[in-house]
C-alpha cells in the first residue's frame, strides 16, 4: 500500500465508491463518516493525505480545515477538498483555510489521482529528514512533521511571484487579482527572461512561477516548466500552470511533469491568490528542510570543538587530493601534527584548558595554510594537513612555519594564564609517478613514522619520511 488516504464524507455511497477506487490504485483508504471522526482519525492514524467533503453535516468544511491546520500533529497532512457545488465562494473559503486543492464533483479520476501523486511525492520528500532523525524529529525544524504553521494572513512575509505569459491582457488580469494581496514581489516576464535568470539561488529567483500552459505555442508552458526544473537557479521554485479551460488531460500531464499546482484561467479571479499563498508556504518549508539537510551534512564532517574537518572527512579527501595529483603529475605533501605532552596539559590545568589549547593550535595551523590545503583533527591531539601541488622544499618551509607559529607565543588558558605548547610534525611526500600510486593510508603511515622520529628526537621538531626525499 502506497499511502494511507483518509476519506471524510458523510454520504455512504461516496465513501464506498472512493474506497474501491483508491484500493484499486493501491492506496489504503481510511473512512470517516463525519467531521469529528475525521479530525480524530487525522490525528491518530497519521494518514498521508485527506480527501475532505466540504458539505459535512456536523462541521463546516472550512472549520475542519482550520482545525487540521491548527493542530501541530495534522498541520502537514495535504488536503484535497471535494465539493458538490462548484460555487466560487466555497472553493475560495476552502483554499483560504489551507486546502491544497478543491475539486468539484463529479470528479475526474485521472485528475484526482494525478493530484494525489503530486501531493504524496512532495510529502515523501519532506519526510527525508524524518527518516534520518526518527519519527517525531522534524519538530527540530520548528514545525510539526516538516510543515510551517499555516499562516492565514495574506502573503506575510511576501514571496516573489513571476507571471510568465506573452499575452499582455493576461498579465494585466493576473496582476489585478494579486495586487490586493501582494504589494511587492510581483513581476511579469517572458519565457526568455525566465530562462535567463541566474544559475545561483539568489533574491532575483521567484518563489513561484505562474505559467500559461500554452505559452508562445501549445504546451510551451509545460516545456518551460521542465527547462526551469533542470536549471540550478530555478529548480527549487514552485510552478503553477494556468490552463485555458477545464482540461483534465493537460492537468494530469502537468502534474506528472512536476507542476505544483494547475488552475483553470476561469478560476484565477478567486483562487490564484490563496493558491499562491499555499505554494509559497510550501516552498518555504522545502527551503528550510534543504537548509537543515545541508547544515547536517556540513556538521557531519566538522570537528565540533575546533571547527576544522574531522577524521571522517580527512582520509577520503586525501584520496581525492592524491588522485588529482596523479592526474596532473604534480607533487603533494601530507603532515601529521601532534601536540607535545598534551596529557599533562589536561592533568595540570583541566579539561577546559586542554580544549582551549586544541582550539588555539587549530587556529594557528589554519591561519598559516593556503585555502587549497586541508586541515583536519584526526585524533585527540593529532592533526592531519594535506598540501596539494607542493614540492619537498615547499613542504619543508610550511612545516617549519607551522612548528614555529605554535611554539613562539603562549596560548591563553580560560584562567587567563599563558601556556607555552609545542607540536611535533612528521611529513611525507606523495609519489608523483602516477603508474605506481601509493595507497593514501601508506602515505599517512609514513608521515606517522616520521612523527615518531620527531618525538624521539626531543619533540618540537619536524621530520621528513625517508622515502619522500
Residues 80-139 close enough to bind its own copies by CB under 8 A: 114, 116-118, 120-121, 124, 128-129, 131-133, 136-137, 139
CA distance 456 to 435: 35
CA distance 460 to 457: 9
Q: Which one of 145, 212, 271, 381 is the catalytic residue? A: 381
CA distance 423 to 338: 5
- When the beta carbons of 154 and 258 are compared against its own copies, the nearer one is 258
The alpha-helical segments, DSSP class H, found in 368-439 are 392-407
- When the beta carbons of 158 and 419 are compared against its own copies, the nearer one is 419
- When the beta carbons of 60 and 229 are compared against its own copies, the nearer one is 229
The answer to whether the beta carbons of residues 78 and 49 sit under 8 Å apart is: yes
Residue count, binding to its own copies (CB under 8 A)? 72
Residues 203-222 binding its own copies (CB under 8 A) are 222
Residues 243-302 binding its own copies (CB under 8 A) are 256-258, 292-301
- When the beta carbons of 118 and 465 are compared against its own copies, the nearer one is 118
CA distance 466 to 447: 10
Question: Residue 417 interacts with its own copies (CB under 8 A)?
Answer: no
Query: CB of residue 201 vs its own copies: minimum separation in angstroms?
Result: 10
Which 3 state secondary structure label does DSSP give 404? helix
Question: Residue 324 interacts with its own copies (CB under 8 A)?
Answer: yes
CA distance 326 to 431: 8
Query: CB of residue 60 vs its own copies: minimum separation in angstroms?
Result: 22
Query: CB of residue 221 vs its own copies: minimum separation in angstroms?
Result: 12
Q: Which residues are bridge partners to 78 per DSSP?
A: none
CA distance 248 to 265: 13
Query: CB of residue 343 vs its own copies: minimum separation in angstroms?
Result: 6
Query: CB of residue 197 vs its own copies: minimum separation in angstroms?
Result: 9
Q: Give how far Cα 13 sits from Cα of 16, 17, 33, 63, 82, Å.
A: 5, 6, 11, 23, 15
Query: CB of residue 92 vs its own copies: minimum separation in angstroms?
Result: 28
| Selected range binding its own copies among 152-160, 225-233, 271-279, 456-464, rule: CB under 8 A | 225-233
Question: Residue 3 interacts with its own copies (CB under 8 A)?
Answer: yes
Residues 345-374 binding its own copies (CB under 8 A) are 346-347, 350-351, 354
Nine-digit cell at 45?
A: 492514524
- When the beta carbons of 154 and 233 are compared against its own copies, the nearer one is 233
Size (the chain), residues: 469
Question: Residue 409 interacts with its own copies (CB under 8 A)?
Answer: no
Question: Residue 45 interacts with its own copies (CB under 8 A)?
Answer: no
- When the beta carbons of 124 and 408 are compared against its own copies, the nearer one is 124
Query: CB of residue 146 vs its own copies: minimum separation in angstroms?
Result: 12
Tally of CB atoms within 10 A around 220:
17
Catalytic (active site) residue 63 = no
- When the beta carbons of 18 and 27 are compared against its own copies, the nearer one is 27
CA distance 425 to 461: 6
- When the beta carbons of 141 and 242 are compared against its own copies, the nearer one is 141
The answer to whether the beta carbons of residues 447 and 428 sit under 8 Å apart is: yes
- When the beta carbons of 150 and 405 are compared against its own copies, the nearer one is 150
Sheet holding 4-8, edge to edge: 28-32, 4-8, 49-53, 79-83, 101-104
Question: Residue 16 interacts with its own copies (CB under 8 A)?
Answer: no
The answer to whether the beta carbons of residues 231 and 198 sit under 8 Å apart is: no
DSSP 289-341: HHHHHHHHHHHTTB-TTTSSEEHHHHHHHHHHHHHHHHHHT--EEEEEEEETT
Residues 296-315 binding its own copies (CB under 8 A) are 296-301, 304, 312-313
HSE of 282, CA atoms in CB hemisphere, 13 A: 25
Residues 128-187 binding its own copies (CB under 8 A) are 128-129, 131-133, 136-137, 139-142, 144
Among the listed residues 59, 195, 265, 359, the single contact to its own copies using CB under 8 A: 195
Q: Find the helix packing angle between 88-96 and 268-299, rounded to 10°.
A: 20
Query: CB of residue 99 vs its own copies: minimum separation in angstroms?
Result: 19
The answer to whether the beta carbons of residues 228 and 239 sit under 8 Å apart is: yes
| Selected range binding its own copies among 30-38, 70-78, 160-168, 392-400, rule: CB under 8 A | 70-78
HSE of 202, CA atoms in CB hemisphere, 13 A: 5
Cell numbers 586544541 correspond to what residue?
A: 358
Among the listed residues 20, 172, 232, 457, the single contact to its own copies using CB under 8 A: 232
| Catalytic sites, residue numbers | 381
Amino acid at each position: 500500500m502506497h499511502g494511507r488516504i483518509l476519506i471524510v464524507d458523510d454520504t455512504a455511497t461516496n465513501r464506498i465508491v472512493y474506497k474501491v477506487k483508491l484500493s484499486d490504485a493501491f492506496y489504503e483508504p481510511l473512512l470517516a463518516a463525519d467531521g469529528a471522526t475525521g479530525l480524530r482519525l487525522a490525528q491518530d492514524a497519521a494518514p498521508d493525505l485527506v480527501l475532505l467533503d466540504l458539505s459535512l453535516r456536523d462541521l463546516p468544511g472550512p472549520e475542519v480545515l482550520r482545525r487540521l491546520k491548527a493542530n501541530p500533529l495534522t498541520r502537514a497532512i495535504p488536503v484535497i477538498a471535494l465539493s458538490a457545488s462548484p460555487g466560487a465562494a466555497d472553493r475560495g473559503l476552502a483554499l483560504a483555510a489551507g486546502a491544497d486543492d478543491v475539486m468539484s464533483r463529479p470528479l475526474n479520476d485521472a485528475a484526482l489521482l494525478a493530484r494525489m501523486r503530486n501531493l504524496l511525492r512532495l510529502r515523501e520528500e519532506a519526510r527525508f529528514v524524518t527518516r534520518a532523525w526518527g519519527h517525531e524529529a522534524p519538530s527540530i525544524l520548528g514545525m510539526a512533521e516538516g510543515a510551517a504553521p499555516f499562516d492565514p494572513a495574506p502573503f506575510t512575509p511576501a514571496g516573489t511571484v513571476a507571471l510568465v505569459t506573452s499575452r499582455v491582457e493576461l498579465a494585466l488580469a493576473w496582476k489585478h487579482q494579486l495586487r490586493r494581496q501582494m504589494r511587492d514581489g510581483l513581476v511579469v516576464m517572458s519565457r526568455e527572461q525566465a530562462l535567463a535568470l541566474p544559475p545561483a539561488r539568489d533574491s532575483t529567483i521567484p518563489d513561484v512561477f505562474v505559467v500559461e500552459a500554452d505559452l508562445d505555442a501549445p504546451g510551451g508552458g509545460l516545456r518551460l516548466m521542465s527547462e526551469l526544473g533542470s536549471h540550478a537557479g530555478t529548480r527549487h521554485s514552485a510552478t503553477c500552470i494556468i490552463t485555458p479551460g477545464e482540461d483534465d488531460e493537460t492537468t494530469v500531464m502537468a502534474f506528472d511533469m512536476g507542476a505544483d499546482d494547475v488552475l483553470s484561467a476561469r478560476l484565477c479571479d478567486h483562487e490564484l491568490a490563496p493558491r499562491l499563498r499555499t505554494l509559497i508556504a510550501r516552498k518555504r518549508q522545502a527551503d528550510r528542510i534543504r537548509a537543515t539537510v545541508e547544515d547536517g551534512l556540513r556538521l557531519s564532517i566538522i570537528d565540533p570543538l575546533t571547527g576544522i574537518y574531522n577524521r571522517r572527512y580527512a582520509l577520503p579527501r586525501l584520496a581525492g587530493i592524491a588522485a588529482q595529483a596523479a592526474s596532473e603529475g604534480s607533487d603533494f605533501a601530507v603532515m601529521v601534527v601532534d601536540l607535545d605532552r598534551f596529557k599533562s596539559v589536561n592533568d595540570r590545568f583541566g579539561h577546559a584548558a586542554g580544549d582551549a589549547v586544541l582550539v588555539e593550535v587549530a587556529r594557528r595551523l589554519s591561519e598559516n595554510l593556503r585555502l587549497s590545503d586541508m586541515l583536519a583533527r584526526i585524533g585527540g591531539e593529532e592533526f592531519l594537513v594535506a598540501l596539494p601541488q607542493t614540492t619537498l622544499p615547499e613542504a619543508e618551509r610550511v612545516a617549519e612555519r607551522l612548528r614555529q607559529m605554535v611554539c613562539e607565543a603562549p596560548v591563553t588558558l580560560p584562567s587567563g594564564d599563558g601556556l607555552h605548547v609545542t607540536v611535533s610534525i612528521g611529513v611525507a611526500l606523495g609519489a608523483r609517478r602516477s603508474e605506481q600510486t601509493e595507497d593514501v593510508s601508506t602515505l599517512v603511515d609514513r608521515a606517522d613514522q616520521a612523527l615518531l622520529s620527531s618525538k624521539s628526537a626531543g619533540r618540537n621538531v619536524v621530520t621528513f619520511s625517508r622515502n619522500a626525499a
